[in-house]
């Protein structure tokens, strides 16, 4: 009996390695009956290699928990046709494919985060909460919680539609009125409410615009710690992001004071600023500096417009709430000077900056490949230069030949550049250097 159990568990164990399926170009036709979580990777990409063991764990865990989600990986360079049909542009790209819908995963590449995403997106778009107990349980677990209250209605249809698209970001629930505690007083039914920041807010069609834009604006706590990933996600809300740049290890209270001031604006001046601002703090200025390609001091306050990469700095160090409120208002009414932006000069600067970090990241993730990619052309060029310089040069035809040589070489070099940048796109995403609004849900085209 023990022997049998041992044999059985070793069978289970060995099958754990096959829980991630290697996909090929037949995948497009065979995938429709199932929900698939797929890692599109490139064999040479460093971040893909880092994801590989995590991906095996994701496969094992989802299968162990009895999830209907099937896990696969596809070499996007070998099956580039299939990959581009799924809209894969960088590596690694993680997508959940559910019927005609394809959902992009943009969060941190850890087992728990990926599994949470898979379970959330694979499940129903709107989850119903049958009891007060369930409601309270859910409220405890989620810092931001959208809830539809009422029976069938056009609003519910709209809510379901919005949920099936924005489920990539957050959970959507529904309940009947008697599930809510007495402290929640609704003016009318049906209603859509969001619970967050220790309170709740009701969607108002006339004031808040479309339901999807409201959900998009409200899906974060008004104040939160911000890192590269969060900032990238916050960009999709279209809000300005007000950040206290702090040093968490700083023992003096200056950093803490700026955080406190921003928190007070978020909590006490919600009506005035919540629609346009997202608030938070970020530890250290390294990330911000690379983003604005400049220097901000620590501690300080900066407001970023992620849609056009402009930023605002207070004219003088912020000392009190009044000053901070004035700064926020001046950004809104356009009287504060904007820095950065995506003008033509800025774009050139960005290209240079990106090219430099691309080269750096290729070298960092794989020095051999870096030497090959950049060293080989350089070597060829120097050999040619050497050849040209040492050749006899008293003949005109010889000169012409040389000219054509150098031209060809330059063209060859220019072609290399975009290829490299495209290949490293996923890696730049990881660094979060690009803040671009990519639509996260895309209707799949078959």
Residue whose CB is less far from ligand NAG, 382 or 437: 437
> Going residue by residue from 203 to 242, which x/- string records binding to ligand NAG, judged by CB under 6 A?
-------------------------------------x--
Q: Which is nearer to ligand NAG, 94 or 240 (CB)?
A: 240
Tell me the two tokens of residue 400: 């012409």
The verdict on whether 389 is a catalytic residue reads no
Least CB distance from residue 434 to ligand NAG, whole Å?
A: 16
Q: Which is nearer to ligand NAG, 265 or 331 (CB)?
A: 331
- Alpha helix ranges (H) inside 297-395: 321-332, 344-365, 367-370, 376-390
Rule CB under 6 A: say whether 330 interacts with ligand NAG.
no
Q: List for the chain the helix, strand, coil content (%; round to 5).
A: 50, 20, 30
DSSP 3-state of 35: strand
Q: What is the DSSP letter of 86?
A: T
Q: Which is nearer to ligand NAG, 310 or 365 (CB)?
A: 310
Q: Which of residues 145-184 bind ligand NAG (CB under 6 A)?
A: none
User: Closest approach of Cβ 331 to ligand NAG, in Å?
Assistant: 5
DSSP label of 65: T
Q: Give the side-chain half-sphere CA count within 13 A for 228.
A: 17
Q: List CB contacts of 29: < 8 A, sequence separation 6 or more.
A: none
What is the closest distance, in whole angstroms, from the C-beta atom of residue 438 to ligand NAG in the complex? Answer: 16
Question: Applying CB under 6 A, which of residues 202, 308, 440, 441 lies at the interface with ligand NAG?
Answer: 308
Structure tokens of 143? 């810092």
Tell me which stretch binds ligand NAG (CB under 6 A): 24-32, 36-44, 185-193, 304-312. 304-312
Residue 301 has a CB neighbour count (10 Å cut-off) of: 24
Q: Is 272 in the site for ligand NAG (CB under 6 A)?
A: no
Using the rule CB under 6 A, which residue among 80, 307, 366, 421 binds ligand NAG?
307
Q: Is 81 exposed, middle or buried (0-12, 13-18, 19+ CB in 10 A)?
A: exposed
* Known catalytic residue at 371: no
331 touches ligand NAG by CB under 6 A: yes
Catalytic pick among 45, 145, 371, 385: 45
Measured distance CA(49)–CA(438) in Å, rounded: 24
User: Which residue stretch of 76-84, 218-226, 301-309, 421-429 sits at the interface with ligand NAG (rule: CB under 6 A)?
Assistant: 301-309
Q: What token pair was written down for 315? A: 């004219």
Non-local CB neighbours of 160 within 8 Å, separated by 6+ positions: 125, 126
Number of residues that bind ligand NAG (CB under 6 A): 7
Q: Are 55 and 111 in contact (CB under 8 A)?
A: no
Q: Closest separation between CB of residue 243 and ligand NAG, Å?
A: 15
Q: Which of 230, 255, 305, 358 binds ligand NAG (CB under 6 A)?
A: 305
Among left, alpha and beta (phi > 0; psi -120 to 50; other), residue 283 is beta
> Within 335-374, which residues bind ligand NAG (CB under 6 A)?
338
105 closest CA partner among 38, 48, 33, 47: 38
Residue 195 forms beta bridges with which residues? 145, 200
- List the catalytic residue out of 48, 145, 371, 389: 48
CB nearer to ligand NAG: give 75 or 233.
Answer: 233
Active site residues: 45, 48
Binding region for ligand NAG (CB under 6 A): 240, 305, 307-308, 310, 331, 338
């Amino acid at each position: 009996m023990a022997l049998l159990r041992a044999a059985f568990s070793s069978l289970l164990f060995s099958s754990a390695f096959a829980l991630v399926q290697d996909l090929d170009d037949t995948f497009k036709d065979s995938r429709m009956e199932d929900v698939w979580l797929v890692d599109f990777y490139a064999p040479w990409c460093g971040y893909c290699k880092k994801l590989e063991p995590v991906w095996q764990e994701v496969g094992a865990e989802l299968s162990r928990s009895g999830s209907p989600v099937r896990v696969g990986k596809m070499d996007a360079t070998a099956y580039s046709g299939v990959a581009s049909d799924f809209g894969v542009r960088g590596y690694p790209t993680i997508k959940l494919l559910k019927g005609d819908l394809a959902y992009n995963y943009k969060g941190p590449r850890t087992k728990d985060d990926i599994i949470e995403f898979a379970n959330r997106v694979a499940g129903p778009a709107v989850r119903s909460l049958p009891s007060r107990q369930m409601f309270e349980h859910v409220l405890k677990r989620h810092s931001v919680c959208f809830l539809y209250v009422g029976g069938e209605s056009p609003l519910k249809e709209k809510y379901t539609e919005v949920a099936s698209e924005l489920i990539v970001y957050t959970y959507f629930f529904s309940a009947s009125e008697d599930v809510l505690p007495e402290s929640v007083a609704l003016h009318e039914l049906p209603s859509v409410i969001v619970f967050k920041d220790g309170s709740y807010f009701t969607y108002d069609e006339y004031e808040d615009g479309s339901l999807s834009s409201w959900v998009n604006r409200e899906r974060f706590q008004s104040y939160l710690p911000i890192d590269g990933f969060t900032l990238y996600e916050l960009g999709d809300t279209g809000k300005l992001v007000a950040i206290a740049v702090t040093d968490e290890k700083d023992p003096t209270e200056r950093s803490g004071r700026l955080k406190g001031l921003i928190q007070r604006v978020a909590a006490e001046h919600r009506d005035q600023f919540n629609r346009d601002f997202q608030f938070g703090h970020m530890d250290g200025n390294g990330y911000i500096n690379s983003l604005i390609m400049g220097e901000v001091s620590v501690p300080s306050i900066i407001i970023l417009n992620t849609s056009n990469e402009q930023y605002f700095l207070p004219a003088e160090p912020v000392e009190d709430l009044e000053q901070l409120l004035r700064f926020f208002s001046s950004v809104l009414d356009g009287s504060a000077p904007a820095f950065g932006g995506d003008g033509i000069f800025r774009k050139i600067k960005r290209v240079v900056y990106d090219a430099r970090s691309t080269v750096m990241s290729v070298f960092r993730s794989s020095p051999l490949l870096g030497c090959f990619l950049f060293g080989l052309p350089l070597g060829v060029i120097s050999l040619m230069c050497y050849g040209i310089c040492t050749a006899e040069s008293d003949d005109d035809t010889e000169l012409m030949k040389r000219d054509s040589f150098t031209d060809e070489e330059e063209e060859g070099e220019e072609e290399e550049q975009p290829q490299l940048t495209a290949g490293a796109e996923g890696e730049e995403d990881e660094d979060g250097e690009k803040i671009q609004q990519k639509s996260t849900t895309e209707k799949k085209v078959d």
